[in-house]
Amino acid sequence: EVQLVESGGGLVQPGGSLRLSCAASGFTFSSYEMNWVRQAPGKGLEWVSYISSSGSTIYYADSVKGRFTISRDNAKNSLYLQMNSLRAEDTAVYYCARESVWGSYRHFDYWGQGTLVTVSS
Amino acid sequence: DIQLTQSPSFLSASVGDRVTITCRASQGISSYLAWYQQKPGKAPKLLIYAASTLQSGVPSRFSGSGSGTEFTLTISSLQPEDFATYYCQQLNSYPRFTFGPGTKVDIK
């Protein structure tokens, strides 16, 4: 069974840092591209960051570029999001999501349960 | 960047109703569109990808259609467990895959 379990969320002051983790199981983690998606309270979904299966290709949303760093450890079946210089507008539930490809069609077929990050003084 | 709009934003319906949600893209995205269902406090769940391909395990009352800039998600006979928020996602502008604003389906 595919499982993605996020951890590391919590309350942090503006300007602070937090590192999120996503533990993967039930599939060959090193074969899949991964993403972070967030959802502010009562709002819609926002794509945050992407990492290729090897970790060699990385992209960020403009809203987090220069502040967040995505990484992965395929030996540990884990995905990470290092979040620095946090702002109130970064308050959200953060999901890790597996990206699958069917032909040329991509989709996020498995999601973790999410971890809440609250940025407040 | 490709923008997505969804209509309606909110929909009130009864069990057994046929429900249609529309997603429009600001530019053509071929069939690079997915639909997700999200219930309160839960992660999104993939329903449909490639605009019309049903994800494994998803009931056949869900269907998707469209290409280019206009897409629809149809629930042929609304069930109690279908009351949720539905999001479309474009997967054309790799890898910045933006989501629509969502459509909340509520009980009439």
Quick: pLDDT tens for B5-16: 999 999 999 999
> Under 8 Å CB-to-CB from A109, ≥6 apart: which residues?
A98, A99, A100, B46, B49, B55
Buried b or exposed e, range B75-107, using 16+ CB within 10 angstroms: beebeeebbbbbbbbbbbeebbbbbbbbbebee
User: Which value, to the nearest 10 degrees, does the dihedral of the CA atoms of residues B87, B62, B38, B55 take?
Assistant: -90
| B95 pLDDT above the threshold of 80 | no
Chain B residues touching A95 at Cβ < 8 A: 43-44
Determine the residue among A34, A45, A70, A100 to mutate to test chain B binding: the one whose Cβ has the most chain B Cβ atoms within 10 Å.
A45
| B1 pLDDT above the threshold of 90 | no
User: Rounded CA gap, B66 and B72, in Å?
Assistant: 6
| A113 pLDDT above the threshold of 80 | yes
Query: Residue B93: what pLDDT?
Result: 85
Summary mean pLDDT of chain B: 96
Summary mean pLDDT of chain A: 97
Residue B107: pLDDT band with limits 50, 70, 90: confident
| B94 pLDDT above the threshold of 80 | no
Chain B residues touching A109 at Cβ < 8 A: 46, 49, 55
Chain B residues touching A103 at Cβ < 8 A: 50
Residue B19: pLDDT band with limits 50, 70, 90: very high
Contact B53 A108 (CB under 8 A): no
Quick: pLDDT tens for A6-41: 999 999 999 999 999 999 999 999 999 999 999 999
| A2 pLDDT above the threshold of 90 | yes
Residue A78: pLDDT band with limits 50, 70, 90: very high
Determine the residue among B9, B49, B52 to mutate to test chain A binding: the one whose Cβ has the most chain A Cβ atoms within 10 Å.
B49
What integer is the mean pLDDT of B27-34?
96
Quick: pLDDT tens for B42-77: 999 999 999 999 999 999 999 999 999 999 999 999
